[in-house]
Amino acid sequence: MSEEKTSLGLTPNVTAALAYALWLVGGIIVYLMEKENKFVRFHAMQSIMMFGALLILSIFLGLIPIINLLAAFIMPVIVLICWIYGIIKASKGESFKFPFIGDLAEKQI
């Protein structure tokens, strides 16, 4: 891997992984601070959209009486899987897209 650095002074794969590792806030911070690297900006935007959508979905499902019990068990597992998958793939320098969210994130950068 090259010695290319991002605006944060880290390699692109580490910076992209931080966008996922620090959840929604990490994605926002990385996206706002990184102005040049498209790989990092894509992963930051994908992190923002993924964790934002999961947060909104969790809140919405929590308002529905019967479904909220099921969602209370399933949503944390989904979030954990997305979190780990995002960190691993980004840290390896791989460009991947989460279903639906990835295409939206790509259009935003």
- pTM for this prediction: 0.89
Is a pLDDT exceeding 80 seen at residue 37? yes
User: How confident is the prediction for the chain on average, in pLDDT?
Assistant: 92
Rounded Cα distance between 94 and 13, Å, is: 8
Is a pLDDT exceeding 90 seen at residue 42? yes
Rounded Cα distance between 1 and 59, Å, is: 41
Q: Are 13 and 43 in contact (CB under 8 A)?
A: no
| pLDDT band at 33; cut points 50, 70, 90 | very high
Higher-scoring residue by pLDDT: 109, 56 = 56
3-state SS assignment for residue 49: helix
Q: How many CB atoms lie within 10 A of CB 1?
A: 8
Q: Packing angle between helix 12-21 and helix 67-91, nearest 10 degrees?
A: 170
